[in-house]
Amino acid sequence: MSWRPNSVAVHPIVLLGVVDHFNRVSKHTKKRAVGILLGQTSRGVVSCTNSFAVPFEEDAKDTSVWFLDHNFLENMMEMTRKVNAREQIVGWYSTGPKIRPSDLDINELLRNYCANPVLVVVDPDPKELGLPTEAYFSVEEPKEATVQRTFVHVPAVIDASEAEEVGVGHLLRDVKESSISTLTSEVTSKLSALKSLMMRLQELKEYLMKVADGELEVNNEIMYNMQDIFNLLPSFNTKVLVDSFASKTNDAMLVLYLSSLIRSIIALHNLVDNKLLMRDSEREVAEEAGVVEPKETKEGKDVEMKDESKENEAENK
């Protein structure tokens, strides 16, 4: 039995390199970008930690006619070994966005540099929610007394080291639209996650309906995975969980109420201060124009009138 990877881990730096290659070479065209994946293989997991582009040409009318500059590939690999000897060729990437018949021939060429290369198809402009990557691995299958190679799907995940997470975080912070608030972005991300979950549940429902109607055979591995997923779902009928959600919701609502109350009080305070400032400024303008007497003179006259009234009262007594 030939070796087969359990999963393919694609790092963010690889996705950035693929998108940059696509924008430089194939954007606004029907061409696709092809390159080499570098990394390591450990315990059945192929980690794609780096990549580089390779000159590639393909006939638009006949996809079986293609050219990949393997001399450029060899030169790039020699220079890469001088920088990082731990990274080896683990496969190749294509901006498909789907696999093509000629990919098997390209994969056979890559077998000269890697015994078991993987193919990662990256969609640089995804139209649907979910991961923009699909991983494949070629295996031999008997067919009419002969053996032919075909691609089988391999689970693909996005993995990142701590340094890559920090870099991607800074990158997303720089490209984030400043007109969108943090709350709006969080709500948007939650909504996208719920839409993605809904799509996955819809796929499970369609599969079960087809199995129930007899269109598809029962796959025990899929059933086991679905059972594991359902077992991981929390039970929302327990009293402790309901009380916890209610307490959490009440605390959040109390914070929102206090915040709104404080904001209203501050707004009223600012309104009163603004009214006082406007009144003083209007009085100063009127005093400069001579419409009203200065405040200090008026106060002095009031004091003199009070003193005279007190003297009159004393004389009368």
pLDDT attached to residue 126: 79
Which residue numbers in the chain have pLDDT < 70? Answer: 1-2, 129, 170-183, 291-317
Q: Which contacts qualify for 226-231: CB closer than 8 Å, 24 or more apart?
A: none
pTM of this prediction? 0.60
pLDDT attached to residue 106: 92
pLDDT attached to residue 242: 83
Whole-angstrom distance, CA of residue 40 vs CA of residue 37:
10
CATH class of 7-175: alpha beta
Would you state the structure tokens that stand for residue 69, as one six-digit string? 């500059």
pLDDT attached to residue 52: 94
Whole-angstrom distance, CA of residue 22 vs CA of residue 35:
10
pLDDT attached to residue 46: 93
Phi, psi of 71 (to 5 degrees): -65, -40
Whole-angstrom distance, CA of residue 202 vs CA of residue 315:
102
pLDDT attached to residue 1: 47
Angle between helices 12-25 and 162-175 (to 10 degrees): 50
- E strands within the chain? 7-10, 34-42, 45-53, 56-58, 66-68, 88-94, 118-122, 133-143, 146-154, 156-158
